[in-house]
Amino acid sequence: DAGVIQSPRHEVTEMGQEVTLRCKPISGHDYLFWYRQTMMRGLELLIYFNNNVPIDDSGMPEDRFSAKMPNASFSTLKIQPSEPRDSAVYFCASSLMGGFGGELFFGEGSRLTVL
């Protein structure tokens, strides 16, 4: 099993540019999560999907952030326009909710730097 695959691993962009982060969950997992990690705030849940449907996006900081999951094997997190305060590591995670409190499997993260 290849695990959760994220791309790009590193992204450096200028303020105002559009950023798209990509995620391929583990095959068969029906939950997908986007997290953001910073030194100041630790890991924060942005949004999660169940069977490709967004369930809770209350963690999305503002309208500049959007996430989609067009099919079971692909999701994107888009920031438009990007700002320096968006600089962080963005993690995608997936889970098979076989029961209550399924284990989360994280990708390696996408480190975003907005200049």
Partner 1 sequence: KNQVEQSPQSLIILEGKNCTLQCNYTVSPFSNLRWYKQDTGRGPVSLTIMTFSENTKSNGRYTATLDADTKQSSLHITASQLSDSASYICVVSARPGGYNKLIFGAGTRLAVHP
Residue of the chain from 26, 48, 67, 112 that contacts partner 1 (CB under 8 A)? 48
Q: How far apart are CA 90 and CA 34, in angstroms?
A: 7
Which CB, 70 or 101, lies closer to partner 1? 101
Cβ contacts of 62 within 8 Å, gap of 6 or more: none
Q: Contact between 91 and partner 1 (CB under 8 A)?
A: yes
Coil, strand or helix at 62: coil
Residue of the chain from 21, 25, 26, 95 that contacts partner 1 (CB under 8 A)? 95
> Which of these segments, 12-20, 48-56, 61-69, 73-81, binds partner 1 (CB under 8 A)?
48-56
In contact, 88 and 41? CB cutoff 8 Å: no
b vs e for 73-111, b when ≥16 Cβ sit within 10 Å of the residue's Cβ? Answer: bebebebeebeeebbbbbbbbbbeeeeeeeeebbbebbe
Which CB, 63 or 100, lies closer to partner 1? 100
Q: Contact between 72 and partner 1 (CB under 8 A)?
A: no
Interacting residues with partner 1 (CB under 8 A):
4, 31, 33, 42-45, 48, 55-56, 58-59, 91, 93, 95, 100-101, 103-109
